[in-house]
Amino acid sequence: MQIFWKCLLLVLAMGMAAAQACGPAFARVPPKPATEVTRAANAAVYQQLPFADTQDFEDAQRGFIGRPETLTIRDATGKLVWDLESYKQFITLEAEAPDTVNPSLWRMSQLNMLYGLFQVTDRIYQVRGYDISNITFIQGDTGWIVMDPLITTEMARAALELVTTHLGERPITGIIYSHPHVDHYGGARGIVDEATAARIPIVAPEGFMEHAISENVIAGNAMSRRAMYMFGPFLPRNAQGGVGSGLGMTTSTGSQSLIPPTISIGTTGQELVIDGVRMVFQMTPDTEAPVEMNTWFPDQKAMWMAENVTSTMHNILTLRGAQVRDALGWAWYLNEAIELFGSEMEVVFQSHHWPVWGNARAVDKLRKHRDVYKYMHDQTLNLMNKGYTGEEIAEMLELPPELEQNWSTRGYYGTLRHNVRAIYQRYMGWYDGNPANLNNLPPVPAARKYVEYMGGEAAIVQRARADFARGEYRWVAEVLKHVVFANPDNQEARELQADAFEQMGYQAESGPWRSVYLQAAQELRDGIPNIPGGSATRGPDVLRAMTPNMLFDYLAVRLNGQQAMGKTIGLNITFTDMAPGSQAAFGLTVNNAVLNYGQPLGAPDACLTLNKSTLAAIMLGLMTMEQAKDRGLLVFTGRLEAFVDFMSLLDTFAPLFPIVTPRDEDCG
């Protein structure tokens, strides 16, 4: 994630104006208190879970070395990158859970607020609470080997400064990326300069660069918008707003980098010695990421589980959107880790949350996580084969007590309900088999029919208000969706649906679920946040790393098919920065309202010679063609009007499109 972590690749670089939802203008509406139903539901959590078990608090503070008294980090321009102080104002170890926060999520937020430098075991240290992820420092013979250097360069640099303050100055002698999500590599340039990066080993799983760039490119705008809901960056940080994501507190917002690996790991059992430290790798593809690897440190008897085991149930399908992950494969690789290293491991540590010590506890944690993914998979398939749909299975399935009462497999990030639906989707797709759902009406015309059949807007709102008073918030949110989509100007319906979302957010154990509900409530009351567009701080490294295929696939997605009908355009593009032996010249054609690319054309309308970064900058609106020519970055021949025509066919995606209300074009 973004955020808005893991998602913001190209989207905010467009500098687009915020999309406007249908409906009236809004004044800021304050959040509501918890209802009696919500207070009772949250109070009941204390009886349902083992709050007397405080082992996690002991583990999260074990090995503590030091921390700054305050943790607010700004970039060179003064822009805020990280602010833990806003959370510290109300989340403390002594504070009881407010009635607007699920006590289990509150407990996790208290744990995630235990920040600073910690020793994991001999030669292994972690800085926690400096981003949504941890940064790990392995003490080599001459310097530090860094594992997963956070999202931003500012935070990685701040973490290194903390380590230097307490443990002394040492050079960086290696970097290891466990997988290609930005919270595990984006800060690398904060700890090494170009010269150092060129001479040290930078290790990653095979396929790292491809997936670091490609996972969120062509669907990046939609993912980023949904990430705003998932992580709630526009929510106030207080007991009625954001209290953390469950996986960590939140994500840093500074400069992101991407230094390519120099060593690729592709085989389980492959060994490396870096700066005197032995490590053995276990490949775990298609688990938490398309490529990922665990690392065994035999001399320390320490097992690094990347993001495959943390202190929460993870996502089989993240709410921001992605391809469905393989729950069965995930369980299989956890079992393999136990079989390969379980007899020797004395500590398990990872890229989020805190370690677990002792062989019995370490192996038990891996077994519990193996079994939670296997149980969800097997029982979803069991019920699916009995004819139940994903929605039904999500409502029916419960974890066995051994897993349900285990803190580290609770749904603080992923949840049982949305993971079950994802597993069903992986096998069966979106269609539930009922022909009534094969070719539904779109949301707006369907909503108008629902409202008509149910006696009109006023009648629905009146009955929904009675259901709200009974605490039937799920139903209230569902039924009022039809009123809002039929008539987004119905302020009473919007406010009541917002109230229902808000109470569901207050009751949610999952950080993302809480954020999703509260962000929805905020947008129903106040409208879509109006934030200025800006340049992507992550751009240069990302643009350099994009392959021609990635660039052209992204352009093809931006092509407006309706406007391209009847058009025929041919372009030749030659890149000046391709590696020797790689294809450098390409032909692009627009025909049949489709953009295709391949070998150069014999008679193109225009020819461009430039590097990949320049083309990307032009296509993203970061640079004009005239600016590129003036700077000597582009050689252009042929018909200028053909290229201008081509550019006019490319859509720019508004980063803030409506979600809980219809789009303007649907309101007529």
Q: Is residue 26 part of a domain?
A: no
Rounded to 10 degrees, the C-alpha dihedral 103/109/114/117 comes to 150
Q: Is residue 37 part of a domain?
A: no
Closest by CA position to 461, among listed 477, 445, 444: 477
Q: Is residue 597 part of a domain?
A: yes
Could you give the CA distance from residue 546 to residue 542 in angstroms, rounded to a whole number? 6
Question: In total, how many domains does the chain have?
Answer: 1
DSSP β-ladder status, 277-283 and 124-128:
unpaired
495, 461 in Cβ contact below 8 A?
Answer: no
Q: Residue 666: its pLDDT value, please?
A: 72
Instruction: State whether residue 64 is helix, strand or coil.
Output: strand
Q: Is residue 590 part of a domain?
A: yes
Residue with tokens 């709630």: 232
pLDDT tens digits, residue range 185-234?
A: 999 999 999 999 999 999 999 999 999 988 778 898 999 999 999 999 99
Q: Is residue 543 part of a domain?
A: no
Q: Considering only residues 182 and 6, tell me which one the structure prediction assigns the higher pLDDT.
A: 182
Main-chain dihedrals φ then ψ at residue 156, nearest 5 degrees: -65, -40
Q: Residue 540: its pLDDT value, please?
A: 72
Across the range 79-93, mean pLDDT stands at 97
Q: Residue 154: its pLDDT value, please?
A: 98
Q: Residue 497: its pLDDT value, please?
A: 99
CB-neighbour burial class of residue 401 (10 A; exposed 0-12, middle 13-18, buried 19+): exposed
Within 10 Å of residue 426's Cβ, how many Cβ atoms? 18
Q: How much of the chain exceeds pLDDT 90, in percent?
A: 89
**Cβ contacts of residue 344 below 8 Å, gap of 6+?**
298, 301, 359
Q: Residue 104: its pLDDT value, please?
A: 99
Could you give the CA distance from residue 394 to residue 417 in angstroms, rounded to a whole number? 5
Residue with tokens 């106040």: 526
State the DSSP H helix or E strand holding residue 589, giving kind and residue range, or none if neither.
strand 585-591
Q: Considering only residues 509 and 544, tell me which one the structure prediction assigns the higher pLDDT.
A: 509
Whole-Å CA distances, 638 to 404, 597, 618, 648: 67, 19, 18, 17
Q: Residue 11: its pLDDT value, please?
A: 33
- Which two tokens mark 10? 């190209």
Q: Residue 539: its pLDDT value, please?
A: 61
In this structure, of 12-16, 125-129, 312-316, 452-456, the range with the lowest mean pLDDT score is 12-16
Closest by CA position to 105, among listed 517, 445, 536, 550: 517
Across the range 111-117, mean pLDDT stands at 99
Mean pLDDT, the chain, integer: 94
Closest by CA position to 397, among listed 407, 406, 386, 408: 386
Across the range 4-11, mean pLDDT stands at 36
- Which two tokens mark 91? 């989340």
Q: Residue 603: which domain range?
A: 560-648
How would you write 376-391 as a 3-class SS string? HHHHHHHHHCCCCCHH
Across the range 500-509, mean pLDDT stands at 99
Q: Residue 30: its pLDDT value, please?
A: 92
Crossing angle of helices 491-507 and 457-469, in 10° steps, is 30
Main-chain dihedrals φ then ψ at residue 280, nearest 5 degrees: -125, 135
The amino acid at 119: Q
Main-chain dihedrals φ then ψ at residue 526, nearest 5 degrees: -115, -5
E strand intervals along 15-98: 64-66, 72-74, 80-83
Residue 369 pLDDT more than 80?
yes
Q: Residue 541: its pLDDT value, please?
A: 81
Residue with tokens 């593009």: 573
pLDDT tens digits, residue range 130-168?
A: 999 999 999 999 999 999 999 999 999 999 999 999 999
Residue 447 pLDDT more than 70?
yes
Largest Cα–Cα distance of the chain, in whole Å? 76
Q: Residue 535: its pLDDT value, please?
A: 37
Q: Is residue 576 part of a domain?
A: yes
- Which two tokens mark 398? 């419960």
204, 259 in Cβ contact below 8 A?
Answer: no
What's the CATH code of the domain at 625? Answer: 3.30.1050.10
Could you give the CA distance from residue 265 to residue 269 in angstroms, rounded to a whole number? 10
Closest by CA position to 214, among listed 557, 645, 667, 458: 557
Instruction: State whether residue 640 is helix, strand or coil.
Output: helix
Q: Residue 5: its pLDDT value, please?
A: 36
E strand intervals along 168-317: 172-176, 202-205, 263-265, 271-274, 277-283, 293-297, 302-304
pTM of the model: 0.95
Across the range 492-499, mean pLDDT stands at 99
Q: Is residue 603 part of a domain?
A: yes
Q: Considering only residues 375 and 619, tell me which one the structure prediction assigns the higher pLDDT.
A: 375
Neighbouring C-alpha atoms within 13 Å toward the C-beta of 200:
25
pLDDT tens digits, residue range 600-641?
A: 999 999 999 999 989 988 877 788 989 999 999 999 999 999
Q: Residue 18: its pLDDT value, please?
A: 32
83, 72 in Cβ contact below 8 A?
Answer: yes
Residue 10 pLDDT more than 60?
no
Q: Residue 264: its pLDDT value, please?
A: 98
Main-chain dihedrals φ then ψ at residue 462, nearest 5 degrees: -60, -45
Q: Residue 532: its pLDDT value, please?
A: 58
Beta bridge partners of 347: 302, 357
Residue 21's pLDDT band, with cuts at 50, 70 and 90, is very low
**What DSSP assignment string belongs to 215-228?**
TTSTTHHHHHHHHH
pLDDT tens digits, residue range 525-569?
A: 999 998 755 433 346 787 778 889 999 999 999 999 999 999 999
End-to-end CA distance of the chain: 35
CB-neighbour burial class of residue 582 (10 A; exposed 0-12, middle 13-18, buried 19+): exposed
Across the range 397-404, mean pLDDT stands at 98
pLDDT tens digits, residue range 307-356?
A: 999 999 999 999 999 999 999 999 999 999 999 999 999 999 999 999 99
Residue 113's pLDDT band, with cuts at 50, 70 and 90, is very high
Q: Is residue 595 part of a domain?
A: yes
